[in-house]
Amino acid sequence: MKQRSPVYVSIASILTILLVVYYMFVQESTFLSSPYFWGTVVISIILAMIHHAIGDLIENDQFKKLTDAEKAQYLEDKKIPYFKALYASAFKKQSATEEKDILIDHGFDGIMELDNQLPKWWLGLFYFGVVYCVVYMISYFTTDFAHQYVEYDAEYKAQTASIAEYVKNTPPPTIDDAVYSPDNIAAGEEVFKTNCVSCHNAGGAGGIGPNLTDNAWINQPEKTLFKNVFNMVENGSPNNPAMQAFGKNGVLTGFDIQDVSAYIYHINQEQPPITVANGGAAPQGTPATWEK
Ligand code: HEC
């Protein structure tokens, strides 16, 4: 008579299967707090225990029919812990008499073929693989499980939502707290190309608006160059309405102004000026001495 697997092994397998199936079909990990999930778990455990109890009854009945020697052997085997026996069974070799029983009758050249049973662990893995494949395919075709596009969409939405949240909670820089950062130059160049290039020309060389690469400035309301540019773009020029108040008018945000100010600082301080000889506009205003 065979030893049966203990009930906790069945319960552990059921729990694993339930987790996998819920994870695939429900998708959200919130199922762990759902009463349906725990309801299924409790019902499955009760069923497993009933199944095991019925198994006990059958086992008792069969036990009575055994001879005394078989009974003793069975009780002896039962003392070996389940996992130890399982491990040992993976390496069990048949005896010479057992080998005779499974010998297939077409040996050749002294080589014999045995009709061995497949190892249990191998069969177990095989059946698990087959069942898992079916469950996986059903969930793939009937739910959103493991679809790259769906996952991408969900992640994309989460990312944009978190960016929107960040922007909402981060007030745009003002002239008081804006800071120069080389990281903003590239973004500032884009703002410049869209909003400023029509008057200030490519690279800030100057046209309708003054040359922004030289050291001559008409307007010098602030002490540092970066803040001076911020001020001009925020408030516009008091003398010439052509240079509109991009910030006050709501055309550009504080972030845009911080970026474009970094760009102007960069072309003014970190690059050689575009002189008249190189196609730049002639200096306008008075030479500036900016504080650091
Ligand atoms: C419609 C044309 C026009 C556009 C567009 C324009 N500006 Fe101007 N800008 C001018 C003019 C004209 C002046 C000179 C104002 C004055 O004389 O006070 C000026 C002045 C400035 C000054 C001060 C220069 C100085 O010497 O005082 C800065 C800085 C400046 N602009 C930056 C920008 C930026 C950055 C943008 C884009 C966001 C921009 N401008 C878009 C026409 C323009």
pLDDT tens readout for residues 256-282: 999 999 999 999 999 999 999 999 999
**129: which residues sit within 8 A by CB, 6+ positions away?**
none
Count of H-run helices and E-run strands, the chain: 11, 4
Residue 53 predicted with pLDDT over 80: yes
The two three-digit tokens of residue 83, written as one number: 């996992």
The two three-digit tokens of residue 158, written as one number: 């989460």
pLDDT tens readout for residues 230-259: 999 999 999 999 999 999 999 999 999 999
Q: Which of ligand 1's atoms lies nearest the C-alpha of 238?
A: 18
pLDDT tens readout for residues 196-224: 999 999 999 999 999 999 999 999 999 99
pLDDT tens readout for residues 160-198: 999 999 988 988 999 999 999 999 999 999 999 999 999
* R_g of the chain, CA atoms, integer Å: 40
Which residues are near ligand 1 (CB < 6 Å)?
Answer: 195-196, 198-200, 208-210, 212, 217-219, 229, 232-233, 237, 239-240, 242-243, 246, 260, 264, 284-285
Domain limits of the chain?
1-92, 182-287
CA 5–ligand 1 middle distance (angstroms): 84
Residue 238 confidence (pLDDT): 94
Nearest CA to ligand 1 atom 14: 209
Quickly tell me which residue has 């052509």 as its tokens: 242
Q: What are 111's strand-pairing partners?
A: 108
Rounded CA-CA distance 240/53 in Å is 94
pLDDT band at 69 (very low <50, low <70, confident <90, very high): very high
pLDDT tens readout for residues 74-128: 999 889 898 898 888 878 777 878 888 888 887 778 888 888 888 778 898 999 9
Residue 51 predicted with pLDDT over 90: yes
Domain topology for 182-287: Cytochrome Bc1 Complex; Chain D, domain 2 (1.10.760)
The two three-digit tokens of residue 66, written as one number: 């055994």
Span 40-49, average pLDDT: 95
The two three-digit tokens of residue 261, written as one number: 């100010």
